[in-house]
A and B are shown apart, each in its own frame.
Chain A
Amino acid sequence: MTHVPAPFSSTRREFVVQAAGALTAMAILPSLARATYRPASPISIGLVGAGRQGRLILGELEKMEGVSIAGVCDTDPSRRESGCRRAAGSKPFDSHKALLEGLKNATAVIIATPTHTHKAIALDCIQAGKHVYCEAPLAHTIDDCKSIASAAAGTGKQVFAVGFEGRSNPVYRLARTFFRTDAVRDFVAAEAQSYKKESWRFPAPPGSDAARERAENWRLDPDLSLGLAGEIGSHQFDVVHWYTGRYPTSVFGSGSVRAFTDGRTLADTASCSFGFDAGERFNWSASLGNSFGGRFEVLRGTNAAIKLAWSLGWMFKEADSPTEGWEVYANRQQFFNDEGITLIADATKLASQGKLKEGVGLPEKPLHYALADFLSAVSESKSPACDAAAGAKSTIVSILAGEAVKKGQVVPIDPALLKV
């Protein structure tokens, strides 16, 4: 057996020691099952919202044994029909109230409707005694966020999960364990971006009237949409909040229409700079006009930086930071002048099989893990990775960020607003 010196004293980790010549990797998390999630006991679900996100959710749920879609609700007949076709055996409903009335035995409801419609549906689902998974951002006003969080808090054993997927992402969870130790050390700054060239315009069915066009394109409606900061940025802001355990105290925003001259007024390019109470800054930018760099978050500490890109994560160590024994065998990737250690969930098991490099990435999409986390919370009566309170706080920050973008100025983030 080959023994590697163990400088750590943390009781949360153990070194897995292998036979001579094999890789040694750090076991950080419980084994990441390569098989698709299966709940401990059967769960029946009603889906409210069979549009784009609803279809993605159905795609992940249909992989899971022990999960049945009892009903699909959508106000649009063709989406409703398409959703029911996909979820064989499900009943169609044209309103969430009809779904709750018709599916009294359903265990849970998943809400995948436009953000500004979440509150009414969420409150009715909570009232009906259902476990709820609500897509993020949670709501489009601060009051709505607080209403949902308050209702969810009063339910006792009912699970309310918010779809900020970073918190259930195995790579993000692994990286967070490093962030909270000397491996990264003192938080210095963070940045994130989301760049993808797309118009955000969705086509209404042929022959649609103006009202239908507007409904399909709620994300471009300045009266309804939280804009880039809310719809996209909120997910990334939540990662920073979760990692640091802190919320910013102010945000400066700016935005403009740079790429799509189709009469829209909502910014298609935006940036926010968040200030924290000890002076740290988190800078975020996004655009619908360019795709370079895609989407990622970087959290910087005095010993290392962590970069997260959805299914992938890396740690970039400072030259003067201590080297851990396992790093000698770690998988690495070169980025111009920087070398990153690839953060691989389930590294120990994969290393023992000689398949460490195959572990780069995730065997399922991040949405899958978010849904699995929710279903696990339901079947095991535990808290989800992102509950209503946490989801409300990150959404409120993003609402204020969106306000800053619209005004092009600094907006304070009063801690009292984040008491949910």
Chain B
Amino acid sequence: MTPPSSSSVLLATQAMGTRFEIVLHGEDEGRLRAVGEEAVRAIEHWHGRLSRFMPESDVSRLNRDSGARVGDDLRDLLDVCDEVRLASRGAFDPRIGPERRLDLGAVGKGWALDQAAEIVLEHGLTTALLHGGGSSVVAIGAPANAEGWPIAIRSDGEARRVLLRDQALGVSAPRGRMDARGVTHIVDPRTGDAPIHTDTAAVIAPLGPSAASLADAWSTALVVLGKPPTTFPPGFTVHTHQPSRGWVSYSPHVLESA
């Protein structure tokens, strides 16, 4: 159990079209703020590199010129995307449309949180909650007198409550009304069709270098797939909400066959 901390700070920034918040617990408020600002700068830095709407971003440069030179750190993110694309058999794909334009919107928040979390951990902080838009979360340690950070994942009026401790969470849901051919910002990259199985998919990953990115990417894939395939990473947990069944959970040791 985490001992009570004497200080906590909350920092926030607008990036990637949403609000990011970082909550840090610790002893020295000034130091917490300094670490938090470093983490916020990392989020803002990646916003500038991943935004499709900024002409100077790496994504925009790559979409203008596929041979444009980008840093190895961006290639690390593209490797994460490729890993999920292959394992999900194309249910997740960062390239969209007939022009195959790169769009990292489905994984960008998670990646930014991964970089921010790395900074928090590097500076020795053990209790923190970071999130982007409420749909990408990194939980480090747990607040005082608690087993984890309490998170409620809501879908269609029903909530699935989880406690996160040293874990990342990614939640994806199509926007607008959900029906057989409903309006949605998530489509099956293989067919172009709107997903019909799942209206919310939440993936929980153990904390690691790309945990939030993987959770984000897999949550998007699972909106399309409906349930995790046999190639789903071990140690990850899935909660899906389906219109006809409500919340369904898949833990690593009870994964169903594809």
Selected interface stretch from A59-67, A174-182, A243-251, A330-338: A59-67
Contact of A36 among B37, B48, B61, B124 (CB under 8 A): B61
Q: A35: which B residues are within 8 A, CB to CB?
A: 65
User: Does A97 touch B at the CB level, under 8 Å?
Assistant: no
Contacting residues, chain A, for B48 (C-beta < 8 A): 365
The complex places the Cα of A157 from the Cα of B124 at a distance, in Å, of 49
CB neighbors of B among A198-243 (8 A): 198-199, 201-203, 205-206
Q: Are A202 and B56 in contact (CB under 8 A)?
A: no
Name B98-150 residues within 8 Å CB distance of A: 122-124
A88 near B: Cβ within 8 Å? yes
Given known A64-B69, A65-B69, contact A365–B56 (CB-CB < 8 A): yes
Selected from A86, A358, A361, A362, the residue in CB contact (under 8 A) with B71 is A86
Is A186 close to B, CB under 8 A? Answer: no
The answer on a CB contact under 8 Å between A63 and B69 is: yes
Interface status of A34 (Cβ within 8 A of chain B): yes
Residues of A within 8 A of B56 (CB): 311, 361-365, 368
Q: Is B96 an interface residue (CB 8 A)?
A: no
Docked-complex contact A206 and B37, CB < 8 angstroms: no
Identify B68's interface contact among A36, A203, A361, CB under 8 A.
A36
A residues within 8 A CB of B69? 36, 62-65
Near A by CB (< 8 A), chain B positions 30-52 give 30-31, 33-35, 37-38, 41, 48
In the complex, B156 has a CB within 8 A of chain A: no
Q: Is the CB of A63 within 8 A of B123?
A: no
In chain A between 51 and 74, which residues have their CB closer than 8 angstroms to a CB of chain B? 52, 59, 62-65
Binary CB contact string for chain B from 52 to 71 against chain A (1 if under 8 A, 0 otherwise)? 00111000110011001111
A63 touches B70 (CB 8 A): yes
A59 and B71 contacting across the interface, CB-CB below 8 Å: yes
Complex Cα spacing A201 to B9, Å:
14
User: Would you call A277 an interface residue if the criterion is a C-beta within 8 Å of the partner chain's C-beta atoms?
Assistant: no
Q: Contacts A59-B71, A205-B123 hold; do A199 and B64 have CB atoms under 8 A apart?
A: no
> Is the CB of A262 closer than 8 A to any CB of chain B?
yes
Task: Tell me how far the C-beta of B239 lies from the nearest C-beta in chain A, rounded to whole angstroms.
Answer: 35
A24 and B143 alpha carbons, distance in the complex (Å): 61
Interface of A is mostly: loop
| Minimum distance in angstroms from A370 CB to a CB of chain B | 14
In the bound complex, what is the Cα–Cα distance between A362 and B34 (angstroms)?
Answer: 30
Contacts of B64 in A (CB 8 A): 34, 363
Q: Which residues of A lie under 8 Å from residue B37 when comparing CB positions?
A: 198-199, 201
Q: Whole-angstrom distance from the CB of A221 to the nearest CB of chain B?
A: 15
Tell me the bound Cα distance from A362 to B56 in angstroms: 6
Closest to B39 in A: A203
Mark each residue of chain A from 105 to 142: 1 if its CB lies under 8 Å from any CB of chain B, else 0. 00000000000000000000000000000000000000
Complex Cα gap A365–B33 (Å): 27
Interface contact B71-A202, CB-CB below 8 Å: no
Q: Which residues of B contact A358 (CB under 8 A)?
A: 55
Residues of A within 8 A of B123 (CB): 203, 205-206
B34 touches A199 (CB 8 A): yes
Report the bound CA distance from A64 to B61 in whole Å: 13
Partner among B33, B71, B72, B73 whose Cβ is within 8 Å of the Cβ of A199: B33
Q: A37-57: contact bitstring with B at CB < 8 Å (1 yes, 0 no)?
A: 000000000000000100000
Residues in A neighbouring B54, C-beta threshold 8 A: 361
Annotate A260-288 by CB proximity to B: 1 below 8 A, 0 otherwise: 00100000000000000000000000000
A328–B122 CA distance with the chains assembled, in angstroms: 55
Distance to closest chain B CB from A366 (angstroms): 9
A363 and B61 contact, CB distance less than 8 A: yes
Contact between A206 and B124 (Cβ–Cβ < 8 Å)? Answer: yes
B71: chain A residues at CB < 8 Å are: 59, 62-63, 86
A311 to B53, CA, bound (A): 14
Q: Please report the C-alpha to C-alpha distance between residue A66 and residue B66 in the assembled complex, in whole angstroms.
A: 18
Q: Which residues of A contact B (CB under 8 A)?
A: 34-36, 52, 59, 62-65, 86, 88, 198-199, 201-203, 205-206, 262, 311, 358, 361-365, 368
Give the 4 A-B residue pairs with the shortest CB-CB distance, closest first. Answer: A206-B124, A201-B34, A203-B34, A262-B30
Beyond A86-B71, A363-B56, 5 additional pairs, beta carbon < 8 A: A64-B69, A86-B72, A88-B72, A358-B55, A362-B55
